[in-house]
Amino acid sequence: MLQNEMSLGVRGFVDTRGDRESLRGVHITPWFVEATDGMVFVRAESPTPEENCPIDGEEENFEAIIPLKSLPNPNPPENYLLRKVGNRIRISTENLGGEIVEIGKIEADYPDVSRIITRERAGDRRIVINPHLLEKVLAYFSEHCENGIEIYIPEDPLKSIEIRGQSRTGQKAIAKIMPMRG
């Protein structure tokens, strides 16, 4: 099955410290790739399934938890082709010179995230913001505010969201991010 750097980029949210083996890898399916450290959950859609084509002896549609240490981390980003052959996963990338890397998988069930991830939730408000601006603001608060931050989302999707934080010495900070139109 075809995956790319965006879908496998969820590897940054794998649990590297916990004792739950099922969270120590990236959960890959034909439809999405997901990871969680128990506090943050991230799911990215897989690239279009139409681009996937089975090869003799290899299983196309499979689910697996691939250990973080087994995932290639190419530079520059590229596409990956994953195939299941028996109990092993074959990963092929251009960055590896066309060579095929064969890896194992974690033998565990991935947690049922449908209990925490729902499609429609009553009372939710939708606002669209620039992720680069949000990243910049959160980096600032991450560096200076150790006691958590508060995020205020207005009822009007055209008004700014507000983020507030406080340093351990009590110094306060506030940021406002205007939503994107469209």
What's the pLDDT tens digit per position in 122-134? 777 888 899 999 9
Indicate whether 120 belongs to any domain: no
What DSSP character marks residue 38? S
| Residue 164: count of CB within 10 angstroms of its CB | 16
Confidence of residue 56 (pLDDT cuts 50, 70, 90): low
Q: What is the pLDDT of residues 61-78, one digit of tens each?
A: 788 888 888 887 656 557
Q: Is 81 found in the same domain as 15?
A: yes
Mean pLDDT of the chain: 81
Kindly state whether residues 44 and 10 are assigned to the same domain: yes
Better-predicted residue by pLDDT, 50 or 118? 118
Q: Give the other-Cβ count within 10 Å of 97's Cβ.
A: 6
In a domain, 155, yes or no: yes
Q: Residue 153's domain spans which residues?
A: 131-177
pLDDT tens column, 137-175: 999 999 998 888 999 999 888 899 999 999 888 888 999
Is a pLDDT exceeding 60 seen at residue 93?
Answer: yes
167 lies in the same domain as 94: no
Each as own residue / partner, the long-range contacts of residues 56-59 (CB below 8 Å, 24 or more positions apart, any chain) are 57/85, 58/83, 58/84, 58/85, 58/90, 59/83, 59/84, 59/85
Q: Are residues 106 and 157 in the same domain?
A: no
Separation CA 70–CA 20 (nearest Å): 18
Taking only the tens place, the pLDDT of each residue in 37-50 is 888 888 988 876 55
**Percent of the chain whose pLDDT exceeds 70:** 82
| Any domain includes 48 | yes
109 and 82 assigned to the same domain: yes
Instruction: Tokens for 113, please give them.
Output: 């995230």
Q: What is the pLDDT of residue 89?
A: 84
How many Cα atoms within 13 Å fall on the side-chain side of residue 63? 11
